[in-house]
Amino acid sequence: MFSAADSLTHESSLAVTGTVRQDSRAPSGFELDVSDLKVYQEVSKEEPFPITPKEHGIDFLMDQRHLWIRSTRQHAILKIRHEIIKAVRDFFDNDGFTLCDTPILTPAACEGTTTLFEVKYFDEQAFLTQSGQLYNEATAAALGKVYCFGPTFRAEKSKTRRHLTEFWMVEPEVAFATVEDTMDLAERMITFIVQRVLERRSSELKSLERDLTKLEKISTPFPRISYDDAVKILQNNGSEIQWGGDFGGGDETIISQQFEKPVMIHRYPSAIKAFYMEPDPIRPEVALCVDVLAPEGYGEIVGGGQRAASHDLLVERLKEHGLPREVFQWYLDLRKFGSVPHAGFGMGIERAVTWICGLEHVRETIPFPRMLYRLTP
């Protein structure tokens, strides 16, 4: 048995039998006095396990993703991802929401058609969903408080540390809710998630060398600033942004570095937001919307707001955005048959995991990331 163990190669599989013994010197607090050892499969000496303790390039590790996930660091990230997803679901389930899965295969784009993946659906053309929101509005009108939670897709040609082409998103939608209600909901949810991860996954956070004191500061209420004020902060910090412009990744980083908690920026110009946003009745040039930026420069993790309740306004907006009315007929029906104020948001799970784990790049937050030029393994 000793000689069998002696020649075993890295990542060979075995069953070890023995007596468990407490030992404070062991990393786990326990040692095993081995009485038997059975080898299931021995890794060949000619073709050893490709990942070694030396430094590897990221492209190599991504090519070996099916094996890379065996490392301690990847274990920690995947366990925290699991905990975040469970926390999100528990939060909504315990708050009276009904899970309503929305379709992945859709006939229409939610926010424009340039970043859609196209699917051949028998003799028809379909697109992969970018958001379940429009469908959420239908289920919220039926059930009051709903959420969907599934994969969403953006065919963006951007290769940044914040983008995946396939990512998971949770999207709650609430009938009779305003943009302020949505901000309350978002800060409650985010705080709940962070607390849960601190409670249950602090050893994983520590193994990632995450600064826990930063996460311990996350509590309600979060700072709320208007888009107008955000533009002033940016201008005071050297950004060349003018009122009316959208924030880039660099702008988000600047703003989120000003706060120790996630910051909620509300009332962006309607012109730079999606067609379905409800205009502010006091200042119709801005929308009743909100983005939540994670602290420490992590940028946007949540986007949402109040949806336009008026049928005629939506018809006008569809026209302005060049979207085909017939495809949205069912959506317009929601305003013909019992329209009420309603609001909701979407949170990208991988961005939340990136922030909570304190990672540099979103690519390690999902078992098998999909990016521009990355469809395998």
Residues 141-180 that bind a copy of itself (CB under 8 A): 141-143, 150-151, 153, 155, 157, 165-166, 168, 176
Segment 174 to 213, residues that bind a copy of itself, using CB under 8 A: 176
Q: Which is nearer to a copy of itself, 103 or 221 (CB)?
A: 103
Contact map string, positions 254 to 273, toward a copy of itself, x by CB under 8 A: --------------------
Task: Look at residues 76, 159, 155, 80 and name the one whose alpha carbon lies nearest to residue 352.
Answer: 80
CB of 71 vs a copy of itself, minimal distance in Å: 8
Q: Which is nearer to a copy of itself, 129 or 256 (CB)?
A: 129
CB of 78 vs a copy of itself, minimal distance in Å: 6
What gap in Å lies between CA 235 and CA 9, rounded to an integer?
Answer: 59
CB of 75 vs a copy of itself, minimal distance in Å: 7
Q: Of 119, 198, 315, 323, which one interacts with a copy of itself (CB under 8 A)?
A: 119
CB of 118 vs a copy of itself, minimal distance in Å: 5
CB of 252 vs a copy of itself, minimal distance in Å: 26
CB atoms under 10 Å from CB of 61, counted, come to 18
* Token pair in block for residue 5: 């163990």
Told to check if 120 binds a copy of itself by CB under 8 A, we report yes
Segment 298 to 357, residues that bind a copy of itself, using CB under 8 A: 309, 330-331, 333-341
What gap in Å lies between CA 362 and CA 256, rounded to an integer?
Answer: 17
Residue entry with tokens 């659906």: 121
Q: Which is nearer to a copy of itself, 225 or 332 (CB)?
A: 332
CB of 122 vs a copy of itself, minimal distance in Å: 7
Report the Cα 347 to chain-centroid distance in Å.
Answer: 5
Segment 38 to 57, residues that bind a copy of itself, using CB under 8 A: 40-41, 43-44, 47, 49
DSSP for 86-135 reads HHHHHHHHHTT-EE-PPPSEESS-SS-STTPPEEEETTEEEEE-S-SHHH
Q: Which is nearer to a copy of itself, 6 or 124 (CB)?
A: 124
Q: Of 77, 88, 91, 102, which one interacts with a copy of itself (CB under 8 A)?
A: 102
- Examine residue 221 and say whether the peptide bond preceding it is cis (omega within 30 degrees of 0): yes
- Choices 104-112, 224-232, 234-242, 282-290; region in contact with a copy of itself by CB under 8 A: 104-112
Q: Which is nearer to a copy of itself, 202 or 329 (CB)?
A: 329
Told to check if 117 binds a copy of itself by CB under 8 A, we report yes
Q: Of 21, 66, 217, 319, which one interacts with a copy of itself (CB under 8 A)?
A: 66
Q: Of 61, 77, 128, 193, which one interacts with a copy of itself (CB under 8 A)?
A: 128
Kindly list the distances between the CA atom of residue 106 and the CA atoms of 22, 122, 164, 274, in Å, as whole numbers in the listed order.
56, 13, 20, 18
Please give the single-letter amino acid code of residue 301. I
Three-state SS for 210-248 is: CCHHHHHCCCCCCCEEEHHHHHHHHHHCCCCCCCCCCCC
Q: How far apart are the first and last CA of the chain?
A: 37
Residue entry with tokens 């991504």: 62
Burial class from Cβ neighbours inside 10 Å (0-12, 13-18, 19+) for residue 77 reads buried
What gap in Å lies between CA 32 and CA 35, rounded to an integer?
Answer: 9
CB of 26 vs a copy of itself, minimal distance in Å: 20
Q: Which is nearer to a copy of itself, 198 or 371 (CB)?
A: 371
Q: Of 32, 37, 138, 198, which one interacts with a copy of itself (CB under 8 A)?
A: 138
What gap in Å lies between CA 297 and CA 194, rounded to an integer?
Answer: 17
Told to check if 13 binds a copy of itself by CB under 8 A, we report yes
What gap in Å lies between CA 16 and CA 5, rounded to an integer?
Answer: 11
